Amino acid sequence: MASAVLLACSCTAVSASVGRAAAGGRSQSAVERSTLSGAITTYERATWRWERVMGAPRTDTAGRTLAAMSIPAVRQAVRLWRSRAAAAYRRAHRPPHLKAWLCIHRYEGSWTDTGGPYYGGLQMNVTFQQHYAWWLYRHKGTADHWTPLEQMWTAEKALKSRGFWPWPNTARYCGLL
């Protein structure tokens, strides 16, 4: 008896949502496609944000139009972008030289250090920030407004061309030079 009432309530809820979608001029599949499209956009943006922070190339889309895809194919695209966003998140939270940056930070200052001319936990000057993380500098300001991960990934970019030399004393204390 209880399952019959539950089934009746479920059918009423589904028919009501279909009725609302139809009343709004949209079919149930259009509403679902719109919801899935929003999920894809959210996962794409999360993936691209972490890729930008890490300095990694941006993952391309497949170039297909969601309107031309079947609902199962759109669901598969949601799963794909969800896994890409999760992978980018995991990778971003493990900078290659994490222990080195934490050691340098220990001698440099607070992650929110505002004392110019050097900012943040790795004591980056404005020219350094503009060169290695122009996008973060433009959107968030100086490094004292960035997360510790954003600061470390900016330092990773500098490490590729300059080594640990922007931090000569603290890198020496940490045994990096």
Looking up residue 136, the CATH number of its domain turns out to be 1.10.530.10
What dihedral do alpha carbons 109, 113, 119, 121 form, nearest 10°?
40
Give me 24's structure tokens: 């709004």
Q: Based on the domain organization, do 102 and 134 belong to the same domain?
A: yes
112-169 pLDDT tens trace: 998 889 999 999 999 999 999 999 999 999 999 999 999 999 999 999 999 999 999 9
What is the per-residue DSSP string for the chain?
-HHHHHHHHHHHHHHHHHHHHHHTT--HHHHHHHHHHHHHHHHHHHHHHHHHHHTPPPPPP----GGGS-HHHHHHHHHHHHHHHHHHHHHHTS-TTHHHHHHHHHHH--TT---TTEETTTTEEHHHHHHH-HHHHHHH-SGGGS-HHHHHHHHHHHHHHHTTTTSHHHHHHTT--
User: Are both 88 and 121 inside the same structural domain?
Assistant: no
- Which of 94, 117, 141 terminates a domain? The answer is 94
pLDDT for 23-34, tens place per residue?
Answer: 466 788 889 999
Write down which residue in 59, 94, 129 finishes a domain: 94
- Asked if residue 4 belongs to a domain, the reply is no
The pLDDT of residue 9 is above 60: no
Domain of 140?
98-173
Residue 64 has pLDDT above 90, yes or no: no
Residue 46 sits in the same domain as residue 83 = yes
Q: 43 falls in which pLDDT band (50, 70, 90)?
A: very high
* One domain, residues 162 and 144: yes
Beta bridge partners of 124: 119
pLDDT exceeds 80 at position 6: no
Q: What band does 19 get if pLDDT is binned at 50, 70 and 90?
A: very low
pLDDT at 20: 52
Check pLDDT > 80 for residue 103: yes
- What's the average model confidence in pLDDT over 89-113? 95
pLDDT of residue 63: 84
103 & 165 share domain: yes
- Please write the tens of the pLDDT for every residue from 131-142: 999 999 999 999
Position 10 scores a pLDDT of 39
The pLDDT value recorded for residue 28 is: 84
